[in-house]
Amino acid sequence: MSVGRVTEITAMSATSFDEAIKEGIERATKTLRGIQSAWIKDQEVKISNGQISGYEVTLRVTFLLEDA
């Protein structure tokens, strides 16, 4: 039997939504073990002086809990 947990993280990139997603997943794998999936909950662009200055994503990351 497996038990999973979902945690929500936010990541930002100056380049694209894809880069923000990759950055978020790479960072999550440094502290969470057993990551199974990620769902993109939200996407948002940051605007400065009328131009896009950043791409932000909110991810819901699912990982398996380890046996006690």
pLDDT of 67 reads 78
Tell me the CATH number at 27. Answer: 3.30.1660.10
Each residue's pLDDT tens digit, 25-57: 999 999 999 999 999 999 999 999 999 999 999
Domain hosting 60: range is 4-64
Reported confidence tier of residue 2, pLDDT bands at 50, 70, 90: confident
pTM: 0.86
Q: Which two tokens stand for residue 18?
A: 């894809």
How far apart are alpha carbons 63 and 23 in whole angstroms?
17
Domain count, the chain: 1
Distance (Å) of CA 7 to CA 14, 31, 52: 24, 12, 28
